[in-house]
Every structure is written in structure tokens, then in C-alpha cells.
Amino acid sequence: MLGRLNHVALAVPDLATATAAYRDTLGAQVSPPQALPEHGVTVVFVDVGNTKIELLEPLGEDSPIAAFLEKNPSGGMHHVCYEVDDILAARDHLKASGARVLGDADPKIGAHGKPVLFLHPKDFFGTLVELEQA
């Protein structure tokens, strides 16, 4: 069911500072910032060749990233994203296996313009998992 690792997401307290560190210090190519109000974040993608690093900054007071940063003020790994061929088939298989899909279990459109779902971290050893349709 799982395809390739699409990205590793890092919550950061200051997106401009984090972007500069990856671009200027590490020499990486970074995307322009993209606001995703439906997800409560602003994102930048760092191209590392075989995958991406997603830098996440809270967008709005109700952002789930804001709550994460309250517990982890310096930032940290927020989630990993894997590609799947068919997100609805993956969702149905996971639910039948007892995994919890967050929200209403209906895919939302993610930063790449593709359907995504999130899986409860307690079902995956403390790691929030995002699935993105390839």
C-alpha cells in the first residue's frame, strides 16, 4: 500500500528564519511560502533530491501547529508523509485494520494539490502519518 516517502514535515516557530537556514546555510533549493488556510499553516518545501522537507509555520490562532509549538517551542518533527496509489482504498483498509483516520476521514486537498489524510500518532508509535495520493 505505501509508496515512497513524500516528505518529512518540521514545525518551526519562524518560517523565514528556517527557510534562510536551509537555503543559505545548507545550500538547498526552497519553494516560495504557500499559505494553506484550510490546514492552518504556511509551508515551504525544501528539495533534497530524493524527497522533500516541509517547513510548517502556524497560520492563525487555531492552527494545529501552534499547539505543537507550545509544547516544542524550538520546533521539531511534526509528521511524515507517504504516497499511496489510491487514498480511498488506503483509508478503507486502514479503518478496517483498526487505524484511526483523523478528522472526518474524508481526504482534504494538501499543499501539492492532491488528496491527503492524517492517521492518529498513537496508532503509529507516536508518529503522525500523512498519506498523499500519488
Residues labelled catalytic? 130
**Residue 126 CB partners (closer than 8 Å, separation 6+):** none
Cα→Cα distances 14→74, 84, 98, 112, 122, Å: 9, 31, 37, 22, 28
Cα→Cα distances 87→5, 16, 74, Å: 15, 32, 33
* Cell numbers at 91, concatenated: 483509508
